[in-house]
Copies of this chain bind each other. A is one copy, B any other.
Amino acid sequence: MSDSEQFASDNYSGICPQAWAAMDEANRMDEPAYGEDIWTARAADGLRALFDTDCDVFFTFNGTAANSLALASIGQSFHSVICHELAHIETDECGGPEYASNGSKLLPGEGRDGKLTPDSIEHLVTKRTDIHYPKPKAVSITQATEVGTVYTPDEIRAIRAVADKHKLNIHMDGARFANAVAALGVHPAEVTWKAGVDVLCFSGTKNGLAVGEAVVFFNRALAEDFEWRCKQAGQLASKMRFISAPWCGLMEDETWLGNARHANACADRLARGLLDIEGVSLRYPRQANGVFVELPQPVQDGLRANGWRFYNFIGGCSRLVCSWSTTEAQVDRFLADVRGLVE
């Protein structure tokens, strides 16, 4: 892929070479549909090996569906989901979770740097217990968060403790799970089932696929009949191998982790470069592959005039996201442009 003038999103990126090669291989012959091909079994086994546990694995087309269906498998329509007020499922899914669950309310909680706190969960569960208030059944946390920060294993375990107290299941929105694992430098098990996560939506798309998310149930009771749920919801691919084979590509030689490390490293280079510039500050600590930076409006305007694409976040700070395909040269060009505009 050629170089790019964007930090708009990691979903602007394309298909990474390893995923492409696997897709190519899967295209060499006809294969049974609906996941009965050889690739889908292999990809699911690969994820079980990756997490080092006997989890149940399903593939959906995108993250909206993965998150919405996983949450629907936890609660009924009259239950509620506690999440951070900045959570993607609350702010950017156009009511996807409410639709898949037929009406579950999301209860927005709080916490610094986009991270939901046990206290906030406790408050939302205990402030009311009457039947006019939808009964909390799930906690959803995003790893890495929407503002580029990362929950530590200890932080997740603390959430597990309050979840246990109130019989809640924990859903992890892993749109950037790979980046979080890369940032923390831990085994994937440490921030999932070993810390008490019941179900993880692990994004392949942002990590280098064309399409395809893995829904990984560590709490296998929640996965009961989940394949029917996917089918009914329009999330069962007939040519499933074109989702699962690329996942095999991602898992070979830990490509998923390499892609994430690369994106994080680019973000780190970008963040450091920005902090070196007078008058530029970060809104949130840079921990994964996103950089949230306060740039004067003229600088933002100038960058956009120069052809750079990026989005602004709540409060007006600029969100810069790196991906597997971001290049150092691109980072450096951006920094040079910022420097030129600041002066």
Residues of A within 8 A of B (CB): 1-2, 4, 6, 8-9, 11-15, 20, 23, 26-34, 60-66, 68-69, 76-80, 91-96, 98-100, 102-105, 131-135, 205-206, 210-211, 225, 227-229, 231-239, 242-243, 309, 323, 325
Contact = CB atoms under 8 A, between A and B. Distances in A.
Contact of A32 (B8, B69, B135, B235): B8
A132 B210 contact: no
A204 to B, nearest CB: 11
Contact of A131 (B26, B133, B228, B309): B228
Contact of A242 (B69, B99, B104, B210): B210
A217 to B, nearest CB: 15
User: Copy number of this protein in the oligomer?
Assistant: 4
Contacts of A133: 91-92, 94
B64 A236 contact: yes
Given A4-B29, A135-B225, A233 B231 contact: no
Contacts of A9: 33, 238
Given A69-B234, A94-B231, 10 more contacts: A15-B242, A20-B27, A61-B61, A61-B235, A61-B237, A64-B234, A79-B225, A102-B102, A102-B103, A206-B238
